[in-house]
Structure 1
Amino acid sequence: MRNSLDMMWRERAFMVVLLLLVRKIHGGCPSSSCGKIANINYPFRLKGDPEECGEERYELDCENNVTVLYLYSAKYHVQAINYKNYTVRVVDPALQHHNLSSLPLRFLSRSNFSDTYKYTSFYDSDPYQAFVNVDKNWEYLSFEHIVFVNCNHSLGEKGKYVEIGEWVKWEGKGYAYAIGGDLKAEDLEVGCEVKLVAPTSLSTFDNHSYTSMHTALAYGFEISWIQQACQKHCPDDDDSYCYLDSSNQKLKCRYGILLYISVILVYISILWAYKVLFGLPFLIIIFIYKWRKRHTSMYENIENYLQQNSLAPIRYSYKEIKNMAGGFKEKLGEGGFGYVFKAKLRSGPYVAIKMLSKSKGNGQDFISEVATIGRIHHQNVVRLIGFCASGSKRVLVYEFMPNGSLDKFIFSKERNIHLSYEKIYNISIGVARGIAYLHHGCEMQILHFDIKPHNILLDENFIPKVSDFGLAKLYPIDNSIVTMTAARGTIGYMAPELFYNNIGRISHKADVYSFGMLLMEMASKRKNLNPHADHLSQLYFPLWVYDHIREEEDIDMEDLSEEEKIIVKKMIIVSLWCIQLKPSDRPSMNRVVEMLEGDIEDLEMPPKPILFPDEMMVTDDQTINSS
């Protein structure tokens, strides 16, 4: 009996040791499986797996025996995981193989990924990339695009446009088309609007067959986690360079200029003074050569990545820019960014060339403009036609606005520069629609951060266009809170939350505030701040006008008809809502458009604007006290 008990305990002990040994061999994390995806390993893990098994940002879910990946808060079904080339293939769950009417739920392009623009650090926080760095060159593209457009007229057999109206209808009107591959701005037909961009990694589809395109979409698209693997494999510094060696499917590190310098310094220290005489100049030459090569490569990478962006504008050489501008003879204006010149395309139309002479932060303002409006097509957003990134020269080419900027019409005292209030009112609605589109109509939320009269351009028909996106930022559409390290914008139009952190978080409501200040100036045709006012209560126009509207007193402006007085009053009430101190008290831009287009009887009077979080009282001929 004792012998049998001893044997049983020995067998159990052996099994425990064996299990521990197997667990240790496999790193303590057995492979997980869900549906057709077997052997889910590091860096991935399934929801519910131990925390040490994989990384949190690569956590997958298993829903109804289907492996699910969440990308930018949207759900995608995992089709395959390739641990050799660091890619995972996913597909939009709305796509059905044999249902040509099924379309992806989300607008997704390469521009959603941080590695689309080379100015972001290679060791960025974005868990997935759209490119895989193969053999020291960014030559492996994880996916390409299929673009869906809606046109207000039939195009017939027009190049890459494949009519799909038999299966797809946009809002029940117009003509629906699909385009295989990237669509550049100059290829978008007049009267057509991009409705959806979807990725695919099945590159063998037929560009002239929608059935083939849909099959490619249903196949899915690959994204890469090579950046995470590189962080583990190569030192986390700016001087190391990680790439995938295609010959053996292994990651490799390449080191840059700092390694060369350190080797040379060691060499010099060994050879002592004699070698210093010859080594130091050599060191300087090597340093200059590497520095110039590195920065030249940086400029080229910016240019290359901009070309690869979906709906990218035209790339021009600097020589072409110079010829178009006729030697930069006709200057349209200047600012802190540089100069704007009038130019002419070879095809005939005039354009405005913006020379960025003071590009910030390794050209981030240049990248910001191209990244935001390079793929936007809206009546009230200025169109970016092209760009030039040649060495240190950065140039943006815009559609030409014959009537210039709005400020000269609302602030000028000259009689020949005059707009009727009906025209000003229509311009205000157009600007509001443009900003609303940036906030709510794109696949990424675009915050402008510099809405002001100087950045509203007017075409030959006085249709307004929001311009100058040098301070703009892109955020996921469902991200209501913005993280910023420094205030941005123009004094007088900047939202108070950019200065005070105790009134609310920074969000799209910062643009609403700026639009409110702009709208007030459009309604009054004067600056909001008037240092020459007779009374301190008139120093800040919004406070003065609030009291007059509340008491239903006439506003001393210019001779207005009754209809114009209603227009002005409506604009002022809407602007007073927009410039409320707390962001939560301001309407969204979609609501602003509704308020401007609606009846004045439907508008309630907002609370009186407050200038500062701890403001005391501002009355006639009293001093202004604030914290």
Structure 2
Amino acid sequence: MEHTYNLNIIRMMISSIFISILFPFMTFIILLVVPLSNGEDAKYAACSSLYSCGKIQNIGYPFWGGDSRPDFCGITDFKLNCLAGAELPTMNVYNNGYLGLSVLGVNTSSHTMDISRVKLLESCYLQDISKITLLSSLKLDSRYSAISLFYGCADCVSGYNSKSFTCTNSNDHTTGSAYYFEDQSDISKMGKSCSCMNNVTIPVDKSRLDELRNTNASLWSILTNWPVEMEYMVNFTACSKCEESGGRCGSSDAVPFSEQFVCYCQDGPHQLECSHSGGRRRSIILGSGLAALVLGTVMLIAVFIFSYRRRGTDNFPFQWSRKIARDQNVAAFLKSYGSLAPKGYTYSEIRKMTNSFKDKLGEGGYGIVYKGRLNDGRFVAVKKLKILEGDGKEVISEVLSISRTNHVNIVTLLGFCFEGDKRALVFEFLPNGSLDKYIYGKEIEQSLELETMFNIAVGIARGLDYLHRGCNTQILHFDIKPHNILLDEEFRPKISDFGLARLCPPMNSIISMSVARGTIGYIAPEVFCRYYGSVSHKSDVYSYGMMLLDLVCGRNTIAYDAQQNSEMCFPEWIYNRLEAVEEVAVNRILNDDKKEIERKMILVSLWCIQTYPANRPPMNRVVEMLEGSSKSLQLPPKPNLSSPTRSMFDSLPMITMST
């Protein structure tokens, strides 16, 4: 009996050791063989597809767009958009503003393209022209000159190249004279007394320019003489070498918006051209890999049968191997924090403390929150995360972020669970729930006094200032909104939900992103469009400003905007009332002290939602503004307050970020 027992022990040990070695080996072989058996690199295959839209057919590098050509197959500025049923693609230029261009034709031999402004014949449409500066990647054909046009001018001295200017749009007030300059140095001679409503830089055909000098030709007809032929300037020498070697031209996606040239080949990316020895080497690897795969499969089946008979399915070693792979991130995290790491709970302990997830408190994008109770009697909030693919980065991000904090306005993390696909976070329980129900809920909308809302606003600002400046590692939240602000029994606010948070050194607050993150309406403009600036701690300031408007005005500013037929959004309505020195209180009768508080909160919120990050105050300045007098606060510049629509999110170039 003892001999049989020892023999079984030895067999089990051999089986476990063998499978612990065989399984990683088989995984390596599969990862090696499967990509090679597909015949070509995925990016090579993607960039082999050409772009087509309506009359424009089969164009490649540097153009990209749509479902057929990803961004790494071209250059950022050459993205083409194709609407359903459109005859021509459009090209959006973001440089000192926005301009939509229609691409009428592309000559791949001469590297030229014919472009025209979108909605060319609709009214004057000069406002959009004034925002464009010709990109370094686009060069005017020699048949054109760029002139500077000043129109709607008054009190100018005579002697300039002046022309009358008539606009067909009655809403565009372009009265007065118009002046054009072929030489940029002549602009300084206009004098300080000369005032003009607008100025533009626009390409003009040289033959039409002679006509403008020598005849009474209409200035408007000259300005609308589109399309214009332009040469696109890219590295065609490198691209030619790449294609001659059998590769496909593209750009690196390792560094976002780097524009570094890459040659995508069947055996993977190369710097300039494909390697001729790659095919033979790939065949050798493929043959050896397939042989090893067949042999390993036979051995794996044999071990599986042996283990099943001797040990049953419950303790099959695969489960142990998978668990080790999944828990590597958590193990590394616990090791880095040592005794200071949050307490780890098993899933059975989580189930026990929540009474099998009986009392549901709420639900968010990443999971459901339940009420629980620890063995010492304390109530807790347990967020049971949804089962997501991957290695648990969203859990590690939240645990890592909150574990670095210790502030009265930051929610306290008590522990976490990371057991296979079962993941949960344990927080302190805050009895008054989230802030959104006190803003949007009809039944209790009068339950919070203005002073209480003001104290909540100050507390949130202090918490954000702590995240930005008070930790050794700066924490950017990226999802500040009323739903993520919890209130304790005394209505003290605590910032929660760090699933989208990013960590960065305090002296380097600018970060990179690959997808926009956050909640539509609270996302700062630079997060979804790189034209507005870099993503930094000022992105949290914008979200705070939008939330502050919700708080002081007792409504969801985003939902309010969506219900309006006009383009006047709720923040803009408030701005106009302040500008006209009118009352902004809605549904409340306020005394002078309360009016002072409300005006201060609204002024601070308008500073925080400035379109460009550089114009927004940091959070420590926001705290000072809230705690000071509103008399010292000036009305901020009027920002572009229109909230982005979902269609804009689909069409605008995304700045780079990843979790």
TM-score (norm 1): 0.52
Alpha-carbon shift at residue 521 of structure 1 (Å):
0.6
What one-letter code is carried by the residue in structure 1 that aligns with 2:329?
Answer: I
Q: Equivalent of 1:568, from 567, 585, 598?
A: 598
Q: Does 1:593 align with 2:627?
A: no
Q: Which residue of 2 aligns with 1:365?
A: 394
Q: Does 1:507 align with 2:536?
A: yes
- More displaced, 383-392 or 451-460? 383-392
Alpha-carbon shift at residue 412 of structure 1 (Å):
1.3
Query: How many corresponding residue pairs?
Result: 351
1:78-157 → structure 2 map (5 Å cutoff): none
SS of match in other structure, 1:483: coil
SS of match in other structure, 2:327: helix
Q: Which residue of 1 aligns with 2:327?
A: 300
Q: Does 1:523 align with 2:552?
A: yes
Alpha-carbon shift at residue 307 of structure 1 (Å):
2.7
Structure 2 residues not aligned, in runs of 5+: 1-285, 308-312, 646-651, 654-659
Alpha-carbon shift at residue 416 of structure 1 (Å):
7.3
Q: What per-residue deviation string (whole Å, max 9, x for no partner) do you get for residues 457-494 of structure 1? A: 00001000000000000000100311111111000100
CA distance in 1, matches of 2:398, 2:507: 22
SS of match in other structure, 1:474: strand
CA pair 532-442 structure 1, distance change in 2 beyond 3 A: closer
CA pair 290-611 structure 1, distance change in 2 beyond 3 A: farther
SS of match in other structure, 1:353: strand
1:488-503 → structure 2 map (5 Å cutoff): 488-503=517-532
Q: Does 1:581 align with 2:608?
A: no
Q: What per-residue deviation string (whole Å, max 9, x for no partner) do you get for residues 186-226 of structure 1? A: xxxxxxxxxxxxxxxxxxxxxxxxxxxxxxxxxxxxxxxxx
Q: Which residue of 2 aligns with 1:327?
A: 356
CA distance in 2, matches of 1:449, 1:552: 34
What one-letter code is carried by the residue in structure 1 that aligns with 2:416?
Answer: F
Q: Does 1:424 align with 2:453?
A: yes
Alpha-carbon shift at residue 358 of structure 1 (Å):
3.6
Q: Equivalent of 2:403, from 339, 356, 374?
A: 374
CA distance in 2, matches of 1:269, 1:600: 77
> Which protein has the bigger helix share?
2
CA distance in 2, matches of 1:357, 1:427: 30
CA distance in 1, matches of 2:567, 2:407: 40
Q: What per-residue deviation string (whole Å, max 9, x for no partner) do you get for residues 473-531 of structure 1? A: 00001003111111110001000001111111111100000000001111101111315
CA pair 474-415 structure 1, distance change in 2 beyond 3 A: closer
Alpha-carbon shift at residue 269 of structure 1 (Å):
5.5
What one-letter code is carried by the residue in structure 1 that aligns with 2:488?
Answer: D
CA pair 282-586 structure 1, distance change in 2 beyond 3 A: farther
Check the 8 A contact 2:394/2:499 in 1, yes or no: yes
CA distance in 2, matches of 1:614, 1:267: 54
CA distance in 2, matches of 1:542, 1:393: 42
Check the 8 A contact 2:326/2:391 in 1, yes or no: no
CA distance in 2, matches of 1:493, 1:268: 51
Q: Which residue of 2 aligns with 1:266?
A: 291
CA distance in 2, matches of 1:474, 1:374: 12
CA pair 474-614 structure 1, distance change in 2 beyond 3 A: closer
RMSD over aligned Cα atoms = 3.1
Check the 8 A contact 1:581/1:612 in 2, yes or no: no
CA pair 319-553 structure 1, distance change in 2 beyond 3 A: same
Q: Equivalent of 1:404, from 413, 433, 439?
A: 433
Q: What per-residue deviation string (whole Å, max 9, x for no partner) do you get for residues 362-412 of structure 1? A: 211100011011131100000000111112211100000100000000111
CA distance in 2, matches of 1:501, 1:339: 34
1:196-235 → structure 2 map (5 Å cutoff): none
Q: Which residue of 2 aligns with 1:4?
A: none
Q: Which residue of 2 aligns with 1:76?
A: none
SS of match in other structure, 1:512: helix
Check the 8 A contact 2:567/2:642 in 1, yes or no: no
CA distance in 2, matches of 1:442, 1:448: 13
SS of match in other structure, 1:544: helix
Bigger-Rg structure (1/2): 2
CA distance in 1, matches of 2:643, 2:449: 37
CA distance in 1, matches of 2:347, 2:446: 36
Check the 8 A contact 2:553/2:585 in 1, yes or no: no
CA pair 534-495 structure 1, distance change in 2 beyond 3 A: closer
What one-letter code is carried by the residue in structure 1 that aligns with 2:592?
Answer: E
CA pair 359-470 structure 1, distance change in 2 beyond 3 A: farther
Check the 8 A contact 1:337/1:359 in 2, yes or no: no
CA pair 479-330 structure 1, distance change in 2 beyond 3 A: same
Alpha-carbon shift at residue 283 of structure 1 (Å):
9.3
Q: What per-residue deviation string (whole Å, max 9, x for no partner) do you get for residues 582-614 of structure 1? A: 000000001001101111011011011214699
Identity over aligned pairs, percent: 47
SS of match in other structure, 1:348: coil
Check the 8 A contact 1:302/1:389 in 2, yes or no: no
Alpha-carbon shift at residue 282 of structure 1 (Å):
5.1
Q: Does 1:551 align with 2:576?
A: no
Structure 1 residues not aligned, in runs of 5+: 1-260, 616-625
Check the 8 A contact 2:545/2:606 in 1, yes or no: yes
CA distance in 2, matches of 1:614, 1:348: 47
SS of match in other structure, 2:534: coil
Q: Which residue of 1 aligns with 2:111?
A: none
Higher relative contact order (CA 8 A, sep 6+): 2
What one-letter code is carried by the residue in structure 2 that aligns with 1:471?
Answer: L
1:51-70 → structure 2 map (5 Å cutoff): none
CA pair 262-491 structure 1, distance change in 2 beyond 3 A: farther
- More displaced, 554-563 or 582-591? 554-563
CA distance in 2, matches of 1:267, 1:370: 41
Check the 8 A contact 2:510/2:536 in 1, yes or no: yes
Alpha-carbon shift at residue 359 of structure 1 (Å):
3.8
What one-letter code is carried by the residue in structure 2 that aligns with 1:296?
Answer: K
Q: Which residue of 2 aligns with 1:75?
A: none
CA distance in 2, matches of 1:353, 1:590: 32
Alpha-carbon shift at residue 533 of structure 1 (Å):
5.4
CA distance in 2, matches of 1:324, 1:262: 55
Q: What per-residue deviation string (whole Å, max 9, x for no partner) do you get for residues 234-293 of structure 1? A: xxxxxxxxxxxxxxxxxxxxxxxxxxx9988425768xxxx98x568459989x978644
Q: Does 1:350 align with 2:379?
A: yes
CA distance in 1, matches of 2:607, 2:525: 14
CA distance in 1, matches of 2:439, 2:494: 16
CA distance in 1, matches of 2:454, 2:530: 34
CA pair 438-557 structure 1, distance change in 2 beyond 3 A: same
CA distance in 1, matches of 2:401, 2:318: 30
SS of match in other structure, 2:532: coil
Q: Does 1:459 align with 2:488?
A: yes
CA pair 458-572 structure 1, distance change in 2 beyond 3 A: same
Check the 8 A contact 2:478/2:540 in 1, yes or no: yes
CA pair 613-318 structure 1, distance change in 2 beyond 3 A: closer
CA pair 340-510 structure 1, distance change in 2 beyond 3 A: same
CA pair 265-360 structure 1, distance change in 2 beyond 3 A: closer
CA distance in 1, matches of 2:643, 2:350: 49
CA distance in 1, matches of 2:440, 2:585: 16
CA pair 263-347 structure 1, distance change in 2 beyond 3 A: farther
